[in-house]
Structures are given as structure tokens and as C-alpha cells.
Amino acid sequence: MQPTNLVIDVLATRRITRLLVEDEITRPLREKIGRYHAKAGYLVTCPYCVSVWAGGVVAFLLPRKVRIALALSEGAILVGTASGLIEE
């Protein structure tokens, strides 16, 4: 695997993980899962647990264009976070 592809896959995996575990848009789904099944609720709030599955999805199921889009999205989030930290 080339280094560029590795970086793309890592960033895409991080974006999917953030979407499922942290983003506000998926909070209702996480809460609903947690109400009906405690262990599954834990799994969807654990970034380490979700990242394993997200990595598999990225590596084996997503087309390259989607992986690149996810990687760019996560890269923009990381740059925004870093610039906010620098300004403080």
C-alpha cells in the first residue's frame, strides 16, 4: 500500500468513526440503540470499537472516490481544530 493511500484510509476511517461516535446528527440513533440494548449502546459510543468496523468498511467496501471525500472532510476538520488551538 502506498503512503498516500494509507493516509487517505486512516483519515476516512477517522471521519466515519467521528460521524458515528461524536457527531450531533447521529446522537438520536446512538441514544435509541442505548435504550434498547446496553452493550450495543456502548459499542456505538466507543471510538476504539467503532474504528475497527469503520476501518473494515473503508478498506473493503468504499470506492476510492468516497474514501478521498471522507479523508478531505476529516482533514478540513483537523485543520480547523488545529487553527483554533493555535489562536488560543
Q: Which of the residues in the chain have pLDDT under 50?
A: none
Predicted local confidence at residue 88, as pLDDT: 67
Of the candidates 20, 16, 5, 2, the residue with the CA atom closest to the CA atom of residue 74: 16
* Domain residue ranges in the chain: 3-87
pLDDT digits (tens, 9 = 90+) for 22-38: 999 999 999 999 999 99
Question: How far is it, in rounded angstroms, from Cα 1 to Cα 77?
Answer: 25
Its pTM stands at: 0.89
Q: Checking phi first, is residue 46 left (phi over 0); if not, alpha (psi -120 to 50) or beta? A: beta
Radius of gyration from C-alpha coordinates of the chain = 14
Question: How far is it, in rounded angstroms, from Cα 62 to Cα 25?
Answer: 21
Question: How far is it, in rounded angstroms, from Cα 70 to Cα 87?
Answer: 26
